[in-house]
């Protein structure tokens, strides 16, 4: 992965929004429901055929990340409020999703405000520690 941008911050920036700030300055905002629907684990995508097992309608609109932890130097593992815990989102896949969903947004990284650094590895209680974001966590 040398040379590829890495996350330097990850935080929940709204009730349905997870923000990743990358080492190259890109800021990506992900709709958490769509992120859950994009899981590529063996429970969600057939390993042999690549066919989608998880139907988007099976993911509730109120699903939220409960914890997010870094896996090595290549991915985040998310525990979701619907009980799903086996998904690992590689940094490369998250960048691909940024391009696919056209989600780059937000202020430049130096203006994004306080955030929990990715190196802290875990956020509990919906992943949000901000009292003013409106997510209710």
CATH of the domain at 41: 3.30.2020.30
Q: How far apart are the first and last CA of the chain?
A: 34
For residue 54, being part of any structural domain is answered with yes
For residue 62, being part of any structural domain is answered with yes
For the chain, the maximum distance between any two Cα atoms, rounded to a whole number of angstroms, is: 44
Digit-by-digit pLDDT tens for the chain (137 residues) are: 458 999 999 999 988 999 999 999 999 999 999 999 999 999 999 999 999 999 999 999 999 999 999 999 999 999 999 999 999 999 999 999 998 876 555 444 444 444 444 433 333 333 433 333 333 33
The confidence score (pLDDT) of residue 102 equals: 60
Instruction: Provide the domain count of the chain.
Output: 1
Is residue 112 helix, strand or coil?
A: coil
For residue 132, being part of any structural domain is answered with no
Q: Work out the angle at residue 127's Cα, subtended by the Cα atoms of residues 124 and 130, and round it to the nearest 5 degrees.
A: 105
Q: Cα separation of 98 and 113, whole Å?
A: 21
Using CA atoms, how far residue 122 sits from 10, 14, 69, in Å, is 10, 17, 4
Q: pTM of the prediction?
A: 0.72
For residue 125, being part of any structural domain is answered with no
For residue 12, being part of any structural domain is answered with yes
Nearest to 64 by CA among 133, 131, 128: 128
DSSP state of 56: G
For residue 47, being part of any structural domain is answered with yes
For residue 1, being part of any structural domain is answered with no
For residue 13, being part of any structural domain is answered with yes
Using CA atoms, how far residue 32 sits from 24, 28, 61, 72, in Å, is 23, 12, 9, 22
Q: Cα separation of 86 and 39, whole Å?
A: 9
Q: What is the residue range of 105's domain?
A: 7-120
The confidence score (pLDDT) of residue 25 equals: 95
């Amino acid at each position: 992965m040398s040379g590829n941008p890495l996350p330097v911050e990850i935080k929940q920036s709204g009730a349905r929004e997870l923000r990743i700030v990358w080492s190259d300055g890109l800021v990506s905002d992900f709709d958490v429901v769509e992120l859950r629907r994009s899981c590529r684990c063996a429970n969600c995508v057939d390993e042999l055929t690549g066919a989608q097992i998880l139907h988007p309608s099976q993911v509730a609109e109120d699903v939220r990340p409960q914890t997010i932890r870094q896996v090595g130097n290549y991915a985040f593992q998310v525990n979701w409020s619907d009980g799903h815990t086996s998904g690992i989102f590689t940094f490369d896949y998250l960048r691909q999703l940024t391009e696919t969903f056209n989600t780059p947004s937000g202020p430049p990284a130096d203006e994004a405000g306080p955030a929990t650094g990715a190196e802290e590895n875990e956020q509990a209680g919906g992943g949000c520690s901000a009292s003013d974001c409106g997510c209710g966590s």
